[in-house]
Amino acid sequence: MVTEHRKQLDDSFFSRPDDVVSETAAAAVVEAAQARWRLPDPAAARQVRDILATEFKDDEMPDTFWDGASSKQFREFFLWGHDHDFGHGVTRLGAMGKRHVEITSEAIRLGFLPPDLKGQSVLDIGCWSGGDVLVLSGMGATVTATEEHPRSAASAARLMALVECDATVREMSVYRDDPALAQGFDVVYCSGVLYHVTDPLLLLRICFCYLRPGGRLIIETKADAESRDSVCHYSGTAIKGWNFFAPSELALARWFLDVGFAAGDIQVHTRSMGRFLACGVKQAAAELPETAGFSRPGSWLEGAH
């Protein structure tokens, strides 16, 4: 097994997906999912918007945030994450705009997410203010979401309560791995997070262990889309934005391989703006392929999960 693992030096162990659902059909699925959580009348929509605006006031301006990202550390301020439509023309803008709509639609179009998630258990890592959570829940999934930023986690939980979505939001870092979640999810969805962490392999291994056999990990990330070699662009904290490793296509696919996904079960798609959307399908429980240098030596994450 180890010998075969080490043979994977080129890009033959992963593939680049084609569309399996039309763009129009995928967009319609996401729109219907969001529509489930819109309020019944204008007064109710305004009331919920105003409650959230009062309890979770933006400390930055969403429309100018990315032009010169804050000099504060991320945990020192709050900013609403995704644009939200409360219904009846009542909205709240967020720093991420409609990325939750664009990325989930693209994942459906590529076959990474099935259009119907009824009966599926989904873990959404890094949910910010909950835009992805509402889409995934609206598609029928039972969603557990995690967010390490305390006020963002609280805002997502409050939004869920106000629109009567029964998703669970947990304030926790992905690195506070929980063995109780082992093989607990059909889908682990992690959008816009991987390049914000200092140990991407550990994050991916935790995600792998949380998946049931047959489950799938979906990653959307900043990328080095130009390189054909296995490299990573590194920004770190010298450049504002809290970006660490932006992998090339080959590097990202090798990360998937190195945390337990088998050759042939990994797909990497280059998005129109040069970011990656990737999916790995876990066929069976697997030990960590190589434990030397692993940042959780002797932990449960090294075993067959």
Tell me the domains of the chain and their CATH numbers.
2-302 (3.40.50.150)
Q: How far apart are CA 305 and CA 301, in angstroms?
A: 7
pLDDT value of residue 76:
74
DSSP annotation string for 173-238: -TTS--GGGTT-EEEEEEES-GGG-S-HHHHHHHHHHHEEEEEEEEEEE----S-SSS-EEEEETT
Residues 6+ away with beta carbon under 8 Å from 48: 39, 86, 162, 163
What would the pLDDT profile of 169-186 be if each residue is shown by its tens digit? Answer: 999 999 999 999 999 999
The vertex-198 CA angle with 195 and 200, nearest 5°, equals 60
Beta strands in 41-184 (DSSP E): 84-87, 90-92, 121-125, 142-147, 168-171
What would the pLDDT profile of 219-266 be if each residue is shown by its tens digit? Answer: 999 999 999 899 999 999 887 778 899 999 999 999 999 999 999 999
Task: Tell me the pLDDT band of 3, cut-offs 50, 70 and 90.
Answer: very low
Whether pLDDT at 1 is above 70: no
Return the structure tokens found at 247: 């992998």
Length of the chain: 305
Return the structure tokens found at 258: 């190195």
Decide the pairing of beta strands 276-281 and 211-221. Answer: antiparallel
Percent of the residues in the chain that have a pLDDT greater than 90, as a whole number: 86
What would the pLDDT profile of 93-151 be if each residue is shown by its tens digit? Answer: 999 999 999 999 999 999 999 999 999 999 999 999 999 999 999 999 999 999 999 99
Helix, strand, coil % in the chain, rounded to nearest 5: 35, 20, 45
| Strand, helix or coil for residue 245 | strand
pLDDT value of residue 64:
65
